[in-house]
């Protein structure tokens, strides 16, 4: 397989770490050579949290060069746009969970909220495939990441990884009720 770069982004507290770890382990389960790196520390307090995942035969750092991601996965709308602007290739894929955690300047009335239309226009202009995810009935917001994961699986957005690889990774990382709920969500959506 050629190199494949995934840039994940969201706001601290949204569960970027878990979805990143699932993708990382799913890639490994699929027999792919893979590396990743997450943001830790201060930024996790309500700031932007980012994770890089790289797959391919000859990869060295887990850090993706600017504008060289094949897939951007975002858990929040502002971060979807920021992520695609900085990281995504023209012609790549953006998948984002359509929720808004307003940045400080929006709340302070110094800036406008980013709308869905702005993102769609940008995607059109740059020939980017846009997938918007929303699951209003989720019983726990911490499952938004798995809702996105399910669509990544359903639309086969990552070459070489199949549903079984994702499920095995989820079983490695979760147990009990949490695993059960997330599996139900994943299986319901990804089928």
Q: Which of 100, 154 has the CB closer to another protein? A: 100
Q: Which of 117, 191 has the CB closer to another protein? A: 117
String of contacts with another protein for each residue 124-163, x by CB under 8 A? -xx--------------x----------------------
Q: Which of 113, 156 has the CB closer to another protein? A: 113
Per DSSP, 73 falls in state E
Dihedral sign for Cα 23, 156, 137, 47, please.
positive
Among 24, 94, 147, 153, binds another protein (CB under 8 A): 24
| Using rule CB under 8 A, residue 1 touches another protein | no
CB burial readout 16-44, b (16+ within 10 A) else e: bbbbbbbbbbbbbbbebebbbbbbeeeeb
Structure-block tokens of residue 106: 């929006």
Q: Are 146 and 187 in contact (CB under 8 A)?
A: no
Among 1, 134, 156, 171, binds another protein (CB under 8 A): 171
Nearest partner of 15 among 188, 164, 147, judged by Cα: 147
Among 70, 122, 135, 151, binds another protein (CB under 8 A): 122
Which backbone phi and psi does 131 adopt, to 5 degrees? -125, 120
Residues that bind another protein (CB under 8 A): 11-13, 24-25, 28, 33-48, 58-67, 78-79, 81-82, 85, 90, 99-111, 113-114, 118, 122, 125-126, 141, 171-175, 179
């Amino acid at each position: 397989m050629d190199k494949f770069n995934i840039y994940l982004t969201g706001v601290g507290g949204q569960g970027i770490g878990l979805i990143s770890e699932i993708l990382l382990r799913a890639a490994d389960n699929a027999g792919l050579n893979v590396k990743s790196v997450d943001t830790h520390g201060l930024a996790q307090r309500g700031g932007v949290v980012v994770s890089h995942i790289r797959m391919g035969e000859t990869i060295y750092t887990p850090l993706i060069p600017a504008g060289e991601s094949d897939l951007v996965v975002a858990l929040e709308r502002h971060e979807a746009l920021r992520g695609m602007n900085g990281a995504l290739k023209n012609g790549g894929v953006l998948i984002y969970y359509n929720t808004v955690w307003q940045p400080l300047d929006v709340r302070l009335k110094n800036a406008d909220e980013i709308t869905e239309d702005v993102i769609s226009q940008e995607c059109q202009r740059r020939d980017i495939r846009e997938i918007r995810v929303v699951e209003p009935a989720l019983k726990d917001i911490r499952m938004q990441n798995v809702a996105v994961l399910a669509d990544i699986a359903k639309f086969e957005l990552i070459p070489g990884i199949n549903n079984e690889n994702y499920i095995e990774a989820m079983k490695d990382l979760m147990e009990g009720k949490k695993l059960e709920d997330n599996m139900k969500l994943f299986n319901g959506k990804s089928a």
